[in-house]
Chain A
Amino acid sequence: MILEVEHLSKRFGQRAAVQNVNLRVEAGEIFGFLGPNGAGKTTAIRMVLGLLQPDSGSARVGGFDCWRQHVQAARHFGAVLESPALYAPLTARENLRQFARLLGGVSRQEQSRLLEEVGLEGREDEPVRGFSLGMRQRLAVAQALLGKPELLVLDEPTNGLDPLGIRDLRELLRLLARDQGMAIVLSSHLLSEVEDLCDRIAIMSHGVVRTQGSLLELVNGDGYRFELWARDPMRARSLLEVIPGLQVIDGTEPARLELRSDRDVSELVTAILVQHGVGVRELRRCSGNLEDYFRDVTLRGTELVAAAAS
């Protein structure tokens, strides 16, 4: 477990910005942190990064308390904060060197490789003040990756990136999680980005984590749904009905069947139909819609807060 957040709370005056947040992120996992503006995501992230002292609870990275043992904890993470802030008079290379010095042991070759990896080759020696927002964002990602951290915390990392930049970053993050086992906490407003990248998500509203879990489980509820387009739907239905735990429902169109199960039966269904010579035009997993789910959860959160207030 690289990140453990337990009962984390923070108030600003009378306002509870973060209330009793509990999170766990494992190595190699991409964790999406969602919530509307003012939900408390950035406050929670700032406590993880050691910028804010929690009122109660703790955030631990690599086993070290992020506030009390900040220096040790910070050796395990890299971060890109909301709006990429860098030293404008310094060049990209000098900016990276600033942060590399604080980590120690990061070679110049490693720094050059990172600049290349984020697509800033050829611009390394230009002052950052002349960079576009997207280029600053790329440089911010490069500094976060210095020293190969075990945890990468990204607050709106695609801000200012063009579509190609977003695609490159997405691929880089997948690669980092898969090949290097890096855990990634991604806070974003772009639900499509989260849907595409994340294994698990948490949704915050009004300072409270309303829900968290596997993206598929949360969005699809408890079960799996499939759409089957078969050449002989009647025969397919009779063959599939015998599978334990599988519910076969007639679809809205004659050639379409809807399958519901508590587990992933796609391979089994395909095998049975092929074995019995039933032509399969398409077998597609139906996923729920994160946008709808997000709206429902945050709306519920707002209603709960309103009810508590009244």
Chain B
Amino acid sequence: MLRAVVWNELEKLIRRRRLLIVVVTAAVVGLGLVIELATPQPADWKSQTRQQIAQLQATKAQVQSSPAGLPTGLKASFGSAVDQQIASEQYLIDHNIPPSDWYPAGRAISAILKTGFGFLLLLFGWLAAESVAQERAERTLGLLLSRPVSRRAVLIGKAAALQIVASAVLVAAMAPVYLITGIQHGGWAVMTTQVMVLDDPVKGVLAGNIELLPTWSYVLVALVLSLAAVWLAQALGLLVSILSRGPGLAIGATLGALFVLPPLADVMKLALKDPAFLHYTFWPYLNPASELTSNPAIGLGYASAGLSLAVLLAWAVLFLVAAVTFFARRSETG
């Protein structure tokens, strides 16, 4: 029965929204490619890193030798920060660790997650938010629910169909960027090549704070975290869709929540000095680029990936259970 519902929902979703899905996916791919192609791939990352070290050393010397104007304490803390950065860069060269976005797979994932993932999250929040509310508005929901199928199966079928399309869209978005990066820069990534991510970006590139993931593992983690975030957005959208009176309201409320909550999390983190409860809300974890960063001082870091996945899944399950509960009891009068 569930297979029949999933098949039906896929058919309806693709026939109704194929244009929207294709346009958003193409826009995300286009954006990813533009940014990717605008950023030249260094022929040799070690040379580039050495250049950066040299630049950092020159900047430090310039600051230290400035005759007046800067307080001594500031000079000292600046020098210390630059030294730490130089040490990080040197560590990568000494241990032959390229940055995570040096290989085509890493670049593709990085390009999509950093630039277009937010749009995909909004797209699937939208599709979930309209899934029940639209059928109610068009009066097809009554007919569907009068057939021999449980409401739980209808809802799970809708969620599964959305997730199948989301997986296909994510892969479809990353694949062209990967292919074109490979063609542009050559050196196809071997799936066993190691990719570096930081456990805690605040601590910088230090031994004990880096994780070297095989490329396949990096890709898998990126996909799993992305799908968990999409699933969360869909579960939220489905719940809102069931509770709201019309599709417009459902879409507006869902997109509003997905737009507002992540920046709100940043503001709360700063204003309330990283309160503990914020770690158990889904708001900070909606962009997986944050967990897969190799840039110091940016994002949550790989050490948060487990918590991020657990929190996203827990909230998604909570929203789905609430959606099923409300949907099972709700009278369909329209």
Say yes or no for A1: interface residue by CB 8 A criterion. Answer: no
Say yes or no for A169: interface residue by CB 8 A criterion. Answer: no
- Chain A residue numbers with a CB within 8 Å of B142 are 46, 49, 51, 81, 85
Known: A101-B8, A102-B8. A51 touches B138 (CB 8 A): no
Q: Are B147 and A99 in contact (CB under 8 A)?
A: yes
0/1 string, B32-57, CB within 8 A of A gives 1: 00000000000000000000000000
Q: Which of B7, B138, B145 contacts A101 (CB 8 A)?
A: B7
With both beta carbons as reference points, the residue of chain A lying nearest to B18 in the complex is identified as A89
Q: Are B333 and A85 in contact (CB under 8 A)?
A: no
0/1 string, B139-166, CB within 8 A of A gives 1: 1101101111110000000000000000
With both beta carbons as reference points, the residue of chain B lying nearest to A76 in the complex is identified as B148
Say yes or no for B95: interface residue by CB 8 A criterion. Answer: no
- Chain A residue numbers with a CB within 8 Å of B150 are 70-71
Q: Which of B15, B140, B145 contacts A51 (CB 8 A)?
A: B145
- Chain A residue numbers with a CB within 8 Å of B143 are 79, 81, 85-86, 99, 140, 143
Chain B interfacial residues counted at CB < 8 A: 24
Q: Are A46 and B333 in contact (CB under 8 A)?
A: yes
0/1 string, B1-26, CB within 8 A of A gives 1: 10011011001100110000000000
Bound Cα distance A79, B12 (Å): 21
- Which chain A residues in 63-119 approach chain B with CB under 8 Å? 70-72, 74-75, 77, 79, 81, 83, 85-90, 94, 98-99, 101-104
- Chain A residue numbers with a CB within 8 Å of B8 are 98, 101-102
Q: Are A102 and B147 in contact (CB under 8 A)?
A: yes
With both beta carbons as reference points, the residue of chain A lying nearest to B139 in the complex is identified as A85
Q: Are A102 and B4 in contact (CB under 8 A)?
A: yes
Say yes or no for A53: interface residue by CB 8 A criterion. Answer: yes
Q: Are A90 and B15 in contact (CB under 8 A)?
A: yes
Say yes or no for A157: interface residue by CB 8 A criterion. Answer: no
Q: Are B333 and A98 in contact (CB under 8 A)?
A: no
Say yes or no for B331: interface residue by CB 8 A criterion. Answer: yes
Q: Are A50 and B11 in contact (CB under 8 A)?
A: no
0/1 string, A120-136, CB within 8 A of B gives 1: 00000000000000000
- Chain A residue numbers with a CB within 8 Å of B16 are 89
0/1 string, B323-334, CB within 8 A of A gives 1: 000000101110
Bound Cα distance A103, B5 (Å): 11
Closest CB in chain A relative to B185 CB, distance in Å: 42
With both beta carbons as reference points, the residue of chain B lying nearest to A71 in the complex is identified as B148
Q: Are B329 and A53 in contact (CB under 8 A)?
A: yes
List 6 tightest A-B contacts by C-beta distance, closest first: A85-B139, A74-B148, A101-B4, A49-B146, A51-B332, A89-B15
- Chain A residue numbers with a CB within 8 Å of B1 are 102, 104
Say yes or no for A304: interface residue by CB 8 A criterion. Answer: no
Say yes or no for A52: interface residue by CB 8 A criterion. Answer: yes
Interface residues on A, range: 20 to 34
Other A-B pairs, 20, CB within 8 Å; known A74-B149, A85-B143: A46-B333, A49-B142, A51-B331, A52-B331, A70-B148, A70-B150, A71-B148, A72-B148, A74-B147, A77-B146, A79-B146, A85-B138, A85-B142, A86-B140, A89-B15, A90-B11, A90-B12, A101-B4, A102-B148, A103-B147
Closest CB in chain A relative to B330 CB, distance in Å: 9
Closest CB in chain B relative to A168 CB, distance in Å: 22
- Chain B residue numbers with a CB within 8 Å of A143 are 143
- Which chain A residues in 121-165 approach chain B with CB under 8 Å? 140, 143
Bound Cα distance A87, B143 (Å): 10
With both beta carbons as reference points, the residue of chain B lying nearest to A48 in the complex is identified as B146
Q: Are B149 and A71 in contact (CB under 8 A)?
A: yes
With both beta carbons as reference points, the residue of chain A lying nearest to B153 in the complex is identified as A71
- Which chain B residues in 199-238 approach chain A with CB under 8 Å? none
Q: Are A53 and B147 in contact (CB under 8 A)?
A: no
0/1 string, B178-216, CB within 8 A of A gives 1: 000000000000000000000000000000000000000
Query: Can you name 19 A-B pairs with beta carbons within 8 Å?
Result: A46-B142, A49-B146, A50-B146, A51-B142, A51-B146, A52-B332, A71-B149, A81-B142, A81-B146, A85-B139, A86-B140, A87-B140, A88-B138, A90-B12, A94-B15, A98-B12, A102-B1, A102-B147, A140-B143
Closest CB in chain A relative to B137 CB, distance in Å: 10
- Which chain A residues in 22-81 approach chain B with CB under 8 Å? 43, 46, 49-53, 70-72, 74-75, 77, 79, 81
Bound Cα distance A53, B328 (Å): 10
Bound Cα distance A118, B94 (Å): 78
Known: A87-B12, A94-B11. A74 touches B146 (CB 8 A): yes
- Chain B residue numbers with a CB within 8 Å of A79 are 143, 146
Closest CB in chain B relative to A13 CB, distance in Å: 12
- Chain A residue numbers with a CB within 8 Å of B147 are 74, 99, 102-103
Closest CB in chain B relative to A263 CB, distance in Å: 42
Closest CB in chain B relative to A278 CB, distance in Å: 58
- Chain A residue numbers with a CB within 8 Å of B329 are 53
Bound Cα distance A102, B3 (Å): 9
Closest CB in chain A relative to B327 CB, distance in Å: 12
Closest CB in chain B relative to A88 CB, distance in Å: 7
Q: Are A52 and B148 in contact (CB under 8 A)?
A: no
Bound Cα distance A297, B331 (Å): 30
Q: Which of A43, A72, A85, A89 has the most CB of B within 10 A?
A: A85
Q: Are A75 and B148 in contact (CB under 8 A)?
A: yes
Bound Cα distance A89, B333 (Å): 24
- Which chain B residues in 283-334 approach chain A with CB under 8 Å? 329, 331-333
Bound Cα distance A51, B145 (Å): 7
- Chain B residue numbers with a CB within 8 Å of A94 are 11, 15
- Chain A residue numbers with a CB within 8 Å of B12 are 87, 89-90, 98
With both beta carbons as reference points, the residue of chain A lying nearest to B330 in the complex is identified as A53
Bound Cα distance A52, B334 (Å): 10
Closest CB in chain A relative to B118 CB, distance in Å: 28
